[in-house]
Amino acid sequence: MQNRSGSDNPLFADLNVTPLVDVMLVLLVIFILVAPMVIPQSMRVNLPKTAMVAQKNEGKNAQLVVASDGSLIYQEQPISDQELIAEFKKQSTNKTFQVQIQADKRVEYGRIAEIMALAQSNGVTKLSFVTLSNTKK
């Protein structure tokens, strides 16, 4: 009698893959269950809640407003990115100079990151963000 492989030797039987599939499915289930436990705790982001903080006003703070469309208003005057760079370069030698950023909550994070990069690359290292307090009065 011939088997499926066409030979008369009964020692060469077909490979049974059912146990292999069963083992692979069990391993897959184990990996699915264990994977969430392997993720480092630093991957989770818990943002802090803001409370009212009194800040010293030394008269050297500059107000930068970022409107919801990403346009800039510096010291109550509309300003372009290039003009802002020139202003940052001019103020870079002043060690007490600080920019207070008031950004609309609908402004994309990428726009805020661009402004921060502009400030840092042009010598302004003191940045603060103005927010509303959570406390009701």
Q: What confidence tens digit (pLDDT) does each residue in 58-100 have?
A: 556 888 888 888 888 888 888 898 998 998 888 888 888 888 8
Residue 52, pLDDT above cutoff 70? no
| Predicted pLDDT at 125 | 83
Residue 37, pLDDT above cutoff 90? no
Q: Which domains, from first to last, does the chain contain?
A: 61-129 (3.30.420.270)
Inter-residue contact 128 to 55 (CB < 8 Å): yes
Alpha helical stretches, state H, the chain: 18-38, 81-91, 109-121
| Higher-scoring residue by pLDDT: 53, 16 | 16
| Predicted pLDDT at 58 | 55
- What average pLDDT does the segment 3-9 reach? 59
